Amino acid sequence: MAKNIIINDGNYKISVDDTNSIILDVGATGVVQVTGDLQVDGTQTTVNSSTLEITDNEIVVNKGETGASISVSGQEAGLRVERGQGTDVRMVYDETVLWNDPNTQTTSQGPGIGGALGSGVGTLQLGGFKLVDAGGSTISLKVANINNNNAIYFEPGSAGTLRVIRAGYEALLTDVNDIPNKKYVDDEINNVVLGANFPKIIQGDTEVRITDNSTSGTTSIIETKIDNVLYAKWKPSHLEIYNQMTDIGSIRIEDDVISGLNSNQDIEIQAPGTGSVRINDSLVVNNRPSLQDPQVDPQFDANGVKLYSKTPSGGNTGLYFVNTNDARGEVISTNRALLFGLIF
């Protein structure tokens, strides 16, 4: 049978001295029901139950704070999970956590502390949630999605990296929005760049184009264009150069003239071994002096006979020589030699 105690005026107080307790014993399945608000005063409240159900959609901790931030030692407030003989873990809001604000691109946190740290836009702000063990070491967080209306920033420590710990992760990157790791980038460089078959290198209207017989079925060729002008073609049998002047080492080829780039230096044509230098056409030796050498009679060469041309004289050829002893003379023609033979 239910029993009611009704107090129509004034408060109802049950009290014991400091060494005793008030116990509401309803047995193993009974219920203590409070129909109004419940206010518990004191420094500690302990709930010994296997399941705690709370209808309210918000739990307030650190209630009664009067400062501009969490002022208790450590400047943290949150939840703690006791793990028996294992180290306890905590989810807390820490006023000293620093992070980058994606909106302002500044180091700022939380709603702003104000006071000594300032207030308003651009001032230093502190605070962020963290998961740590009882010793303060960070612990893991497992989630299916991280979402934000603005940019999401990952901030590893000074020597840290953002790392995906999964063997074979690079092989799973098939969606255009997948984030690659270093292994994926290295493999792509090796597969796409180092082993690539690029038919041309081009920038603006300058290019090098390659055509290979094995893929095109035409003659293999390398073409070079500069400022959209064809300058050279490398073919299997020869090199074609279309610009008017080409320098190869110290030799210049300009139209149909071969000249040296270094003043007072010889140009040598030589055949290897017992071979000879052959000229399969007539040879013209221009008269001296020339634009390149103003001397009528050139200096002798200690290594051989030098031939040159100037106005014909007694030999009637105009072909002269100077030997290694600096002896000079005109090569005489056949008719002039016969005439001199008859006279002398």
More confident residue, 199 or 298: 298
DSSP string of 17-85, one letter each residue: -TT-------TTT------S-----SS------S-----SS----STT--SSS--STTSEEEEEE--TT
**Cβ pair 309, 320 in contact under 8 A:** yes
Q: Whole domain around residue 338: which residue ranges?
A: 281-344
Structurally, how many domains does the chain consist of? 2
Which of 109, 144, 162 is the C-terminal boundary of a domain? 162
pTM: 0.50
2 Rama sector, left if φ>0, alpha if ψ -120 to 50, beta otherwise: beta
Residue-wise pLDDT tens digits, 104-155: 666 655 544 443 433 444 444 578 899 999 999 999 999 999 988 877 878 7
Which of 162, 190, 210 is the C-terminal boundary of a domain? 162
Range scoring the smallest mean pLDDT among 10-14, 139-143, 276-280: 10-14
Is there a domain that residue 195 lies in?
no
Is there a domain that residue 342 lies in?
yes
Residue-wise pLDDT tens digits, 147-190: 888 778 787 877 889 888 889 999 999 999 999 999 999 988 88
Is there a domain that residue 113 lies in?
yes
Mean of pLDDT over the chain: 85
pLDDT band for 343, please (50, 70, 90 cuts): confident
Backbone angles phi, psi at 163, to 5 degrees: -125, 140
Is there a domain that residue 255 lies in?
no
Q: What CA–CA distance (Å, rounded) separates 216 from 222?
A: 13
**What is the average pLDDT across 251-270?**
90
Is there a domain that residue 276 lies in?
no
141 three-state secondary structure: coil
Is there a domain that residue 332 lies in?
yes
Q: What CA–CA distance (Å, rounded) separates 52 from 32?
A: 14
Q: What CA–CA distance (Å, rounded) separates 118 from 122?
A: 9
Which pLDDT value is given to residue 42? 79
80: pLDDT strictly greater than 60: yes
Q: What is the CA radius of gyration of the chain?
A: 50
342 three-state secondary structure: helix
Is there a domain that residue 232 lies in?
no
Which pLDDT value is given to residue 151? 76
Is there a domain that residue 311 lies in?
yes
Peptide bond into 199 cis (omega under 30): no
**Cβ pair 331, 315 in contact under 8 A:** yes
Residue-wise pLDDT tens digits, 284-300: 999 998 888 888 999 99
97-101, 191-195, 265-269: which is most confident:
265-269
